[in-house]
Amino acid sequence: MTNLIDTAWFPRWFDPPKAPPHVLTVTRGQDFVNLSFPVLGPTELERACTGLREARRYLAERPVRAIAETLDSAAAIWLDAERPERRAAIHAISVVTGFSPAMVAHAIDLEQRSSRLPDLLGVLDRELGDHRVIDHFVKVRGRSSLRTTVVGPALIGGVFSANIPALPHLTVLRAFLVKAACLGRVSRGEPVFLAAYARTLAALDPDLADCLFVTWWPPEDLATEAVFLAGIDHLVAYGGDAALSAIARRAPQGLPATWHGHRLGFAFVGKPALEPGPAFDALVRGLAYDFSVFDQHACLAPQALYVEEGGTVTPDALARALSTALIVLAHELPQRHAAPADLAKRRSAYETVRLRQALGEPIRGVSPDWRESPHLEPWVAMTPGQNLKPTPNDRTAWVVPVGSLGDAIALLPSSGVLQCAAVAGITDVDRLTLARSGVTRLCAPGLMGLPSMWWAHDGQPCLSRLVRFCDEEMEPP
């Protein structure tokens, strides 16, 4: 079969299953790809867990800097726009997900730019104090009689989602940085990138690639999932809250886990930033980018823009400027292909806005009327008093006039679901107020979708939570 893409990565020590793979054909317009999914059962996955634990000895014996240098080389390869494996992955991911090729390429660039050597070692230094502590005992700064080292788990399991192309490699990086092997279950909604990335690692360092296993099994195959959950030492899972809750109920009691579920982001612009000029124009472009990158499907994406009243530029004027900027940016980063469910969700939201307007509420659409088309279009609406909640995504911006930052905070949900806020025209006291309200990341407009490797994801450390410390005290304090 032509155009067949292997979604699995098996180490050299693993004998592939004898059963023929399941082939899924995905069509997008006149284009299509054939995805090959291996047919694995509990026995094969048990062998995978056992083999990964044995292969992990290579990681334990290798300096973390050498591991990070290999990961840095892989990032450089995936940042090369001329590489055939990158071009093939962009095409396939675009067909499978509906994201435009430009957006897929942009996603790969963003993920790999933050995967270079200084960031990899830097995040270890931030969270562990010194990246060398993963290799051997290191003196603790400020306490000459104390040395410490850290030990990572033998095997980290990853359950991945499809909302951001190229994101799953992040779990692999974090696993390798703490010298853990990694077993990943890809999403059928985007199963392409991780196996392609594994093949790059194999070309650079076959022994390192032997510490990675990439596969898929159907959600209803609970027997295979049970072997997976019983065979790993730490679970990192992405997905919707319902799916994550179901996995948590089935996981063995006491299994350490990192959950990346549903989160909400927003933007706030205070009066000091609402002055005409180059800075305001840059602000609008940044906001348009935040609402556009990953077509608003990332947990970091803004779901509403709160604008303080009383500035020289009114909330209405900012909404109109944002609408124009979104349309302009759509030429550079075209929008996703619309599935019927996407169009239905947008239609429902659009009709709700029109109904509320007809009932006398002071809300209205700012963008040209939405119309059915194969591609979704940017849509901006003025929605006074709008609580922060999910939009239909795909570049939908609710612009909410507020009297103050406090009025905006009153419209936010509980801290458990808040994540990123793009802010402009606020003070350091305001920033502390937002942090204490549950926001876990603050940034300038235009940076919401560009977190670095150093980011404390969902407000939690990403590496130090994976390891245990061992301290050595050879002298009395």
Distance, in Å, from the CA atom of 200 to the CA atom of 130, rounded to the nearest integer, reads 28
- pLDDT tens-digit profile of 328-356? 999 999 998 878 888 888 888 888 888 88
Q: Which helix (H) or strand (E) holds 87?
A: helix 84-97
Residue 434, judged by CB atoms within 10 A of its CB (0-12, 13-18, 19+), counts as: buried
Amino acid found at 398: W
For residue 207, what pLDDT is reported?
Answer: 98
Percentage of the chain beyond pLDDT 90 is 78
In Å, how far from its chain's centre is CA 252?
26
Contact 78, 112 (CB under 8 A): yes
Amino acid found at 59: L
For residue 47, what pLDDT is reported?
Answer: 97
Are 4-261+459-473 and 264-446 the same fold in CATH?
no
For residue 419, what pLDDT is reported?
Answer: 92
Q: Which helix (H) or strand (E) holds 119?
A: helix 117-128
For residue 48, what pLDDT is reported?
Answer: 97
Coarse DSSP helix, strand, coil percentages of the chain, rounded to the nearest 5 percent: 45, 20, 35
Domain boundaries, the chain: 4-261+459-473, 264-446
What kind of fold does domain 4-261+459-473 have according to CATH? Answer: Aldehyde Dehydrogenase; Chain A, domain 1 (3.40.605)
- Alpha helices (H) in 205-339, listed in sequence order: 206-209, 222-231, 241-250, 278-292, 315-332
- Alpha helices (H) in 275-423, listed in sequence order: 278-292, 315-332, 340-358, 405-409
Distance, in Å, from the CA atom of 30 to the CA atom of 323, rounded to the nearest integer, reads 31
Q: pLDDT band for position 374 (50/70/90)?
A: very low
> What's the whole-number mean pLDDT along residues 182-195?
96
Is the CATH code 3.50.50.60 the one for domain 264-446?
Answer: no
Q: Which helix (H) or strand (E) holds 444?
A: none
In the Cβ-directed half-sphere of 44, how many Cα atoms lie within 13 Å?
18
Distance, in Å, from the CA atom of 155 to the CA atom of 416, rounded to the nearest integer, reads 28
CB under 8 Å to 397, separation ≥6 — which residues? 291, 302, 304, 305, 319, 322, 323, 326, 378, 379, 380, 381, 391
For residue 43, what pLDDT is reported?
Answer: 95
228: which 2 tokens? 């997976």
Contact 27, 339 (CB under 8 A): no
CA-based nearest residue to 33, from 104, 116, 124: 104
Q: What angle do CA 388, 389, 395 make, to 5 degrees?
A: 100
Distance, in Å, from the CA atom of 270 to the CA atom of 281, rounded to the nearest integer, reads 15
Residue 463, judged by CB atoms within 10 A of its CB (0-12, 13-18, 19+), counts as: buried
SS3 243: helix
Whether pLDDT at 375 is above 60: no
- pLDDT tens-digit profile of 420-447? 999 999 999 999 999 999 999 999 999 9
DSSP-assigned states of every residue in 93-105 = HHHHH---HHHHH
CB atoms within 10 A of CB 129: 16
Distance, in Å, from the CA atom of 451 to the CA atom of 89, rounded to the nearest integer, reads 23
- pLDDT tens-digit profile of 403-418? 999 999 999 997 689 9
